[in-house]
Structure 1
Amino acid sequence: MKEFEDGFSELQSDMISICMEFVENRADKVYVYASCEEGVLSSSFFYSINNTYVEAHKVNDALEDGDQTIDVSPKRGFMVLDIINGDIRKIRALCKEYKRAMPTEMKLVYDVKDGEFQAQYKYDLVYTNDDIKTAHHIAGEWFEEVKSNHL
């Protein structure tokens, strides 16, 4: 049991770490959306910086005047998503190995100041049984929900 939980935690930590690296450790909070449903893998990430909620490609909008900008090129963004998706695959393999249910959805939140980590998991189908919504829609809705709850 301990090996499973340690492995699971380590992979989630890796997702947070790569997102922190993307913003050069300048975020107040990191949000990671990870999805694995019916063979579809998807992920996204966003931040709270200076009390502003921003998607990864817009982090420079939240920086203070005079702060050095962050490289938010698509290439860097895709590298982060590749690593997160790799971690999702490893979690899927870990769940299979230990005969545990694989979450269809993981919402990870890391509060940098408090060092507090929160995770929400779903095990039911979230979007593959929906005619319109994709994982991208769900991740976008979560971003809007978080943003509007903190205004």
Structure 2
Amino acid sequence: MKNFEDHLADMQTDMVAVCMEYVNDRADDIYIYCSYEPEMYAFDVFFRINGKTVRKNKLNDAVSNEQYNVSLDRQRALLRIGNENLKQIHVKCKEFGKEMPTEIKLHYEVKKNKLEGSYKYELVYSNNKELLPDHIFDAWFNEVKS
């Protein structure tokens, strides 16, 4: 019988797998951002490919010899699946009596097959009228890029 950590690992592994599929298994690093603050789920991702840190819609900026499919439909599908995984994490948190993280940042190093995560449990943006999940995601993207 699976414990909470097993379920969490499965859902995070699925998030990584979906992101790897999105980049045709050609990323060096995957950075996944998940956020849940009362009744709002957010999921986004960016990648390091060929030494370049790029958003999901800019994958082609990192390659010269091929083109990625970064259509809006494909991006929406990626975000939808990520959000579904995040909602499933919330379901499992409730089921096991665990607190739902307000923020999850995952970094997957492809060559090392290594997944690291950081988790926050206090409100990050909903108590600030100026801040949205996109702002947190953008700040993390800029931090990793520089």
Output the TM-score relative to the length of structure 1. 0.94
Runs of 4+ in 1 over 3 A off after TM superposition: none
3-state SS of 1:128 partner: coil
Tell me by how many angstroms 1:2 deviates. Answer: 5.0
Q: Given the alignment, which residue of 132, 135, 138 partners 1:137?
A: 135
Corresponding residue number in structure 2 for 1:94:
92
SS at match of 1:144: helix
CA-based RMSD: 1.1
String of CA shifts for 1:97-118, please: whole Å, max 9, x gaps.
0000100000001000111110
C-alpha distance in 1 between matches for 2:3 and 2:110: 26
The equivalent residue for 1:56 is 56
Q: Does 2:4 match 1:13? A: no
Query: Match for residue 45 of structure 1?
Result: 45
TM-superposed deviation, 1:131? 1.1
Q: In the alignment, which residue of structure 1 is the partner of 2:103? A: 105
Partners of 2:27 and 2:95 in 1: how far apart? Answer: 35
AA at the equivalent of 2:105: K
CA distance in 2, matches of 1:2, 1:17: 20
**SS in structure 2 opposite 1:126?**
coil
Give me the TM-score of the superposition, normalised by structure 2.
0.97
1:69 to 67, 70, 73: 67
1:26 aligns with 2:19: no
1:1-60 CA-partner distances (Å, limit 9, x unpaired)? 952111000001111110110010010000100011111100110000011000000011
Consecutive unaligned residues of structure 1, counting only runs of 5 or more, are: none
Give the length in aligned residue pairs: 146
Cα distance between partner residues in 2 of 1:38 and 1:16: 25
